[in-house]
């Protein structure tokens, strides 16, 4: 085939070796994307289970498996509109291995840092910030699809406002039911409804958030030539195995649980009862399902936390504004700080070969060591369960609904 020309054989073998290393690198970055998805699961598990844990609608140790099941169930029903929006954040010709790696590292780092301090920030905006930062480092302003980024920016404002408003109004709907039935705030019907609405919230979390990882992987595969756009040229084709892997990873992360953030969401923002827990879930579900249907990658964290605040204000329990202020600050800085981390990591990958390996490898290993240490030295279900109000304090009569801004949770 090659005749007697050894140079031809050498050239072909070199190309094959290059392709092999390229494929290995893609596989490793896809694995990193699934690690991000895992962190998204345990970081944002609080979105669905914080209210049912706080009101004892479900035992704390059962809540993560319950949520993980519905996270994964979305795989069989939901499409890829959100994944397509995320996949187009960085233009295909700039979606290199270095860009995607840098974006993922930044998003994972931000998830771990905010989880370690119990702050409900957005995994969605962390990955978008990472993509923007790495894309800017690689190709400047022209590397970014600002239309896709604008959808996320709109969601930063719209989802909390919608979720808080609907939860506030839902409190009065629940109050009307209570006036008719004379049910107390922690009545079994409210607990049952809360479990059903938490299942819907878990489904919505999986449907919207797993697609972010699908979008990142699709962007990587598109840039590497392993997938393509559809016939219209407007939609990235997401392989089925990518969707299955993404939903599996986020469900496993939820199963592990993120109890530090569950504590903040369920026990520090306000005092919840089963009736207000239902109202909070209604607000979050409405915002998340609405955004998913139009392909907007909103933060399920923003929607769920805002709903809890709205339910607390509407019920008269108020909100712990110190914690709310810290949370909103985290929301505001997520995209720029995650973008900065990705920007810096990308430049480390551009160092001369040996220095790049030393710098990137050193930072990655040091961070991984800290993250593993943090996972083994965190609070667990039993710790949170000890902080929840006992049943006799939760089992009050129906309270009149009087909006009140200032308040606090049962745990300071």
User: For residue range 374-404, what is the model confidence (pLDDT) as tens digits?
Assistant: 998 888 888 888 888 777 766 655 566 677 7
For residues 283, 58, 63, 408, the Cα torsion angle rounded to the nearest 10 degrees is: 60
Mean pLDDT score of the chain: 85
pLDDT of residue 348: 96
d(CA 279, CA 343) in angstroms, rounded, equals 40
C-alpha distances (whole Å) from 295 to each of 78, 155, 218, 223 are: 11, 11, 15, 21
CA dihedral for 283, 199, 121, 207, sign (positive or negative): negative
- Which of 399, 188, 190 minimizes the C-alpha distance to 314? 399
Is the Cβ–Cβ distance between 200 and 51 less than 8 Å?
Answer: no
Give the model's confidence band at 130: pLDDT under 50 very low, under 70 low, under 90 confident, else very high. very high
Provide CB contacts within 8 A for 280, sequence distance 6+. 51, 167, 170, 272, 304, 307, 308, 310, 311
pLDDT at 226 over 70: yes
Provide CB contacts within 8 A for 332, sequence distance 6+. none
Give the largest CA-CA distance in the chain: 94
Is the Cβ–Cβ distance between 126 and 110 less than 8 Å?
Answer: yes
Mean pLDDT of 98-104: 91
Q: What is the pTM of this model?
A: 0.85
Per the model's pLDDT, the better-predicted residue between 34 and 152 turns out to be 34
Give the model's confidence band at 7: pLDDT under 50 very low, under 70 low, under 90 confident, else very high. very low
Q: Determine the 3-state secondary structure of 167 from DSSP.
A: helix
pLDDT of residue 15: 52
Mean pLDDT of 66-73: 93
């Amino acid at each position: 085939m090659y005749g007697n020309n050894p140079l031809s054989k050498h050239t072909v073998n070199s190309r094959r070796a290059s392709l092999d290393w390229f494929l290995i690198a893609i596989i490793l970055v896809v694995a990193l994307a699934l690690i991000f998805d895992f962190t998204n699961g345990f970081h944002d598990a609080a979105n669905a289970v914080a209210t049912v844990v706080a009101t004892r609608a479900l035992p704390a140790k059962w809540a993560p498996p319950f949520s993980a099941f519905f996270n994964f169930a979305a795989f069989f029903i939901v499409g890829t509109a959100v994944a397509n929006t995320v996949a187009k954040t960085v233009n295909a010709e700039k979606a290199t291995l270095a860009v995607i790696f840098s974006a993922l590292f930044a998003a994972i780092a931000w998830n771990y840092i905010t989880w370690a301090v119990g702050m409900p920030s957005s995994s969605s905006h962390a990955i978008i910030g990472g993509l923007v930062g790495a894309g800017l480092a690689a190709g400047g302003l022209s590397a970014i699809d600002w239309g896709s980024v604008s959808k996320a920016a709109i969601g930063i404002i719209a989802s909390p406002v919608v979720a808080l408003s609907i939860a506030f109004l839902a409190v009065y709907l629940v109050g009307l039911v209570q006036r008719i039935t004379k049910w107390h705030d922690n009545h079994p019907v409210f607990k049952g409804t809360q479990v059903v609405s938490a299942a819907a919230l878990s489904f919505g979390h999986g449907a919207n958030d797993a697609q972010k990882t699908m979008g990142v992987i699709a962007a990587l595969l598109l840039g590497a030539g392993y997938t393509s756009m559809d016939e219209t040229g407007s939609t990235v084709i997401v392989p089925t195995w990518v969707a299955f892997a993404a939903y599996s990873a986020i469900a496993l992360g939820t199963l592990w649980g993120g109890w530090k953030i569950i504590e903040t969401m369920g026990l520090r923002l306000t005092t919840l009862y089963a009736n207000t827990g239902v109202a909070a879930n209604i607000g979050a579900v409405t915002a998340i399902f609405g955004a998913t249907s139009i392909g907007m990658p909103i933060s399920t964290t923003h929607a769920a936390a805002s709903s809890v605040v709205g339910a607390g204000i509407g019920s008269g329990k108020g909100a712990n504004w110190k914690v709310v202020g810290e949370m909103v600050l985290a929301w505001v800085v997520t995209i720029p700080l995650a973008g900065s981390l990705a920007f810096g990591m990308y430049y480390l990958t551009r160092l001369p070969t040996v220095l790049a390996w030393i710098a990137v490898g050193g930072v990655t290993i040091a961070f991984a060591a800290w993250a593993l240490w943090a996972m083994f030295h965190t609070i667990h279900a039993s710790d949170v369960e000890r902080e929840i109000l006992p049943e006799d304090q939760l089992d009050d009569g129906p309270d009149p609904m009087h909006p009140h801004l200032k308040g606090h949770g049962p745990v300071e």
